[in-house]
Chains A and B, each alone.
Chain A
Amino acid sequence: MYWTDDRAWAPFAELQSLQREMNRLFDGRDGGTAMSRFPALNVWGNGENIVVTAELPGVEVEDLDLSVVNNQLTIKGECKADKPAEDAVCHRNEREAGSFVRTVRLPYAVENDKVAAKYENGVLTITMPRHEATKPKRIEIQTA
């Protein structure tokens, strides 16, 4: 989604930019095809919880739609293009707008009714506790 600057040492900058261009073909807000990689997600987790974060600047909370079925999380939404003023003339339009869908498979089933989501400063954070039934259970071995 963004470019890093060129003060980092990058011997293969040209190759990387080509790779980025190729990735960008599939990364855009394309309305949610199977190849959709937008929004980029960071998935965090331990044995008890899964936390998914996504950078979604400029999306209103009412335009976001989250659903969880067993171990599948779907993020659906729309980034609306809005002009800052009616009479403004556009010089550059580099920000993208459009609708997106992304589904990710989580490592285990989660408690659907205990999923918590927060949207702050354009970052969406979804916290999902692990489903009780999928937690590993210690099995006692009985001696004769």
Chain B
Amino acid sequence: MKEKNLEKVEPTRDAKVFVPTPDIYEKDDSILVRCDMPGVAQDQVDIRLDNTELEITGTQAGDKPDGVDLLAGEYETGVFRRKFNVPQLIDRDKIRARLHNGVLDIELPKAEQAKPRKIEIKTGDQIDKEVD
């Protein structure tokens, strides 16, 4: 389950990197990726598509409440990062993302040539008529 293809470049900031667990759905005309990103503000999300590689990065605010000390810590904050290989041709100008209640939804529309096309099957009669 753990992705091994994470880049081997050291991060400059000392923040923990978490691998978000996504849901991936496919429709006829698009691919939908949904990730949990609690504590990430809208402007802290970075989505990059490099050829067929989709990289999602979200930096958590990780705000410490004022004037109080941590008594019991069960989770840590840091950076969410995950890469995917996206097989189909993606129309990169039309990628849309939406962040709501800490859940990131990314819609990757397929390019025209990658969409499934219905192929008309002509019967013998029709072909004869066209020849006429």
13 residue pairs from A and B, CB less than 8 Å apart? A1-B75, A4-B19, A7-B8, A44-B69, A51-B68, A56-B102, A57-B101, A59-B101, A85-B25, A121-B99, A121-B101, A121-B102, A122-B102
- Looking at the assembled complex, report how far the CB atom of A63 sits from the nearest CB atom of chain B, in whole angstroms: 10
* One of B25, B39, B74, B81 near A41 (C-beta < 8 A): B74
Q: Which residues of B contact A83 (CB under 8 A)?
A: 25
Chain B interface extent, by class = 35 or more
* A12 CB-CB contact with B under 8 Å: no
Q: Which residues of B contact A (CB under 8 A)?
A: 1-2, 4, 6, 8, 10-11, 16-28, 32, 34, 36-41, 61, 64-65, 67-75, 80-81, 99, 101-103, 105
CB pair A43 B72 closer than 8 Å? yes
Given A60-B101, A88-B32, the answer on whether A123 and B39 have CB atoms closer than 8 Å is: yes
CB–CB B2/A3 < 8 A: yes
Residue of B nearest to A84 (CB): B32
B22 touching A95 by the CB < 8 A rule?
Answer: yes
Q: Which of A3, A4, A57, A89 sits near B27, CB closer than 8 Å?
A: A89
Cα distance A121–B28 in the bound complex, in angstroms: 30
Do B40 and A84 touch across chains, with their CB atoms under 8 A apart? no
Number of interface residues of A (CB under 8 A): 44
Asked whether, in the complex, the Cβ of B71 is within 8 Å of the Cβ of A43, the reply is yes
**In the complex, which residues of chain B have a beta carbon less than 8 angstroms from the beta carbon of A53?**
65
Q: How far is the CB of A23 from chain B (nearest CB, A)?
A: 11
Of B20, B38, B72, the residue contacting A121 (CB under 8 A) is B38
Contact (Cβ within 8 A) B70 A122: no
Contact call A57/B102, Cβ cutoff below 8 A? yes
| Residue of B6, B70, B74 with highest tally of chain A CB at under 10 A | B74
